C-alpha cells in the first residue's frame, strides 16, 4: 500500500464511522419510544369506571333543575370528600359554591358531569337520576369554563369543540357574544390561527374568552364556571364578566368563585367546609348572619388586593402576555 492509499483510507473511515454511530443512537431513541408507547397504550386500555347504564335514556334538552340528594363521595375508600350534600337548584338559577381550597367545590361539579359516580345518595337532573341518562346526552347539557383553559389546534377548532355541527354564523355570533371577535379578526389568520399547546401565545383573558365562546356555541342548559375569572386582573375581569353575564342568562349556573363580585350576583350561596355544607343563603342573609362567610370574604378581599399589587410589580410579564 502506498502512503497515499493509506492516507485516503484513513480519511474515508471518518465519514463511515459517523453514520454508524448515529445508527446505534437511533436504536436507543427507538427503544425509548417503544417503551413510552407501551405506557400510553396501557393508559388507553384502562376500562372506564363510569359507564352508560344498559337502559340509559337520551335527553334532548334539559330544563336545568339539579338536585343533590344526600350525596356522599370518596375518591379513596374510607376517606369521604363530600358528606351528606343536599343542594336543590331551580332552572335558570345561579348557585355560588364558596369555601377554602380542598373543601370539595370542584368535586361537586365533577360529580354532576359524571366524571365520577357518587358513593351514596343521588344526583337528579330534571328529576331523573343522572346515572340513568346516557353520558353523551348528559354532558351535552353542561358547559364548563375552567380556570386553566386547555387549547390546541386552531381558534375555530377550539370554539367548535363545544358543538362541531355549528354553522359559520353561529361561530361568529358566539365569538361576538364572548367579546373575542375583535381580537380574533385582528390575528393574521383570523379563526384559522393556530393557538398551540395550551394556547401559549394568547393572553389569559383571550384564552378565557375563547372558552366562553366555546360554551356559547354549545348553548348548554347548565353551566359550570370553575374559578373562571380568578387568573385575570380586575380590568380584564370586567370584560370577561360582561361576557359571562350574557352566557349565564337563562341557564342553571354553578359558579365557583374566589371573588366577591361573582358571588354577590348569585341567587344562592353555599359555603363548604371540609366536604360539608356549613352555611347557605343569599348574599345579604349570609353577610348579616354568618361568621364563616364574612371571614372567607374578608380573606379573599385581602388576597385580591395583594395579587393586584403583585401584578403591578411585574409590568413586563403582563405586557408580554398580552402583546405576544
Ligand atoms: N382525583 C383525586 N383523587 C383523590 N383525592 C382528590 C382528587 N381530587 C381531589 N381530591 C381531594 O378532594 C378534596 C376536595 O378537592 P376539590 O378539588 O373538590 O377542592 P376545591 O374545593 O375545588 O379546592 P380548590 O379551591 O383548591 O380548587 C381535597 O382534599 C383533594 O385533595
Ligand atoms: Mg377546585
Domains of the chain, with CATH numbers? 66-141+220-323 (3.40.50.300)
> Within a 10 A sphere around the Cβ of 242, how many other Cβ atoms?
13
Q: Looking at residue 187, what is its pLDDT? A: 82
CA dihedral 240, 243, 244, 247 (to 10 degrees): -160
Instruction: Give the angle 99-104-107 at the CA atoms, nearest 5°.
Output: 135
Q: Looking at residue 142, what is its pLDDT? A: 93
Which residue's CA lies nearest to atom 31 of ligand 1?
102
Which residue's CA lies nearest to atom 16 of ligand 1?
104
Whether the CB-CB separation of 113 and 142 falls below 8 Å is answered with: yes
Cα 62 from Cα 151, distance rounded (Å): 27
- d(CA 106, ligand 2 centre) in Å: 4
- d(CA 311, ligand 2 centre) in Å: 22
Cell numbers 347548565 correspond to 222
Name the grid cell of 96. Answer: 355560588
Per-residue pLDDT of the chain (324 residues; tens, 9 = 90+): 899 999 999 999 989 998 899 988 999 999 999 999 999 999 999 988 888 888 889 998 889 899 999 999 999 998 999 999 999 999 999 999 988 888 999 999 999 999 999 999 999 999 999 999 999 999 999 998 887 777 778 888 888 887 888 888 888 888 888 888 888 888 888 888 888 665 557 777 778 788 888 888 888 999 998 876 666 666 667 777 777 788 888 899 999 876 666 777 888 999 898 999 988 888 888 877 777 777 776 666 665 555 444 444 444 333 333 333
Cα 211 from Cα 174, distance rounded (Å): 10
- d(CA 75, ligand 2 centre) in Å: 15
Contacts from 106-111 at CB under 8 Å and sequence distance 24+? 106/226, 106/256, 107/73, 107/75, 107/81, 107/82, 107/275, 108/68, 108/82, 108/254, 108/272, 109/144, 109/224, 109/226, 109/254, 109/256, 111/68, 111/71, 111/73, 111/82
Q: Looking at residue 323, what is its pLDDT? A: 34
Which residue's CA lies nearest to atom 26 of ligand 1?
101
Q: Looking at residue 281, what is its pLDDT? A: 87
Amino acid at each position: 500500500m502506498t502512503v497515499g492509499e493509506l492516507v485516503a483510507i484513513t480519511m474515508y473511515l471518518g465519514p463511515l464511522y459517523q453514520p454508524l454511530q448515529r445508527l446505534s443512537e437511533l436504536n436507543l431513541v427507538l427503544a425509548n419510544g417503544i417503551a413510552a408507547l407501551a405506557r400510553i397504550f396501557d393508559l388507553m386500555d384502562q376500562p372506564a369506571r363510569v359507564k352508560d347504564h344498559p337502559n340509559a335514556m337520551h335527553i334532548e334538552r334539559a330544563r336545568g333543575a339539579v338536585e343533590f340528594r344526600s350525596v356522599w363521595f370518596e375518591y379513596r375508600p374510607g376517606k369521604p370528600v363530600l358528606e351528606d350534600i343536599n343542594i336543590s337548584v331551580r332552572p335558570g338559577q345561579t348557585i355560588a359554591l364558596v369555601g377554602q381550597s380542598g373543601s370539595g367545590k370542584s368535586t361537586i361539579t365533577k360529580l354532576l358531569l359524571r366524571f365520577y359516580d357518587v358513593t351514596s345518595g343521588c344526583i337528579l337532573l330534571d328529576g331523573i337520576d343522572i346515572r340513568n341518562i346516557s353520558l353523551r346526552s348528559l354532558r351535552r347539557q353542561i358547559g364548563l369554563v375552567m380556570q386553566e383553559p386547555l387549547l390546541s389546534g386552531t381558534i375555530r377548532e377550539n370554539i367548535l369543540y363545544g358543538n362541531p355541527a355549528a354553522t359559520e354564523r353561529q361561530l361568529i355570533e358566539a365569538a361576538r357574544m364572548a367579546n373575542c371577535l375583535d381580537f380574533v379578526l385582528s390575528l393574521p389568520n383570523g379563526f384559522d390561527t393556530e393557538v398551540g399547546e395550551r394556547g401559549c401565545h394568547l393572553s389569559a383573558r383571550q384564552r378565557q374568552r375563547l372558552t366562553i365562546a366555546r360554551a356559547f356555541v354549545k348553548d348548554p342548559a347548565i353551566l359550570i364556571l370553575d374559578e373562571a375569572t380568578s387568573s385575570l386582573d380586575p380590568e380584564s375581569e370586567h370584560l370577561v364578566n360582561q361576557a359571562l353575564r350574557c352566557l349565564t342568562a337563562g341557564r342553571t349556573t354553578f359558579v365557583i368563585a374566589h371573588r366577591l363580585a361573582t358571588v354577590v350576583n348569585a341567587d344562592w350561596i353555599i359555603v363548604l367546609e371540609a366536604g360539608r355544607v356549613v352555611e347557605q343563603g343569599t348574599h345579604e342573609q349570609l353577610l348579616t348572619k354568618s361568621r364563616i362567610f364574612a371571614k372567607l370574604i374578608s380573606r379573599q378581599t385581602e388576597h385580591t388586593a395583594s395579587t393586584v399589587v403583585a401584578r403591578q410589580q411585574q409590568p413586563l410579564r403582563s405586557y408580554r402576555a398580552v402583546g405576544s
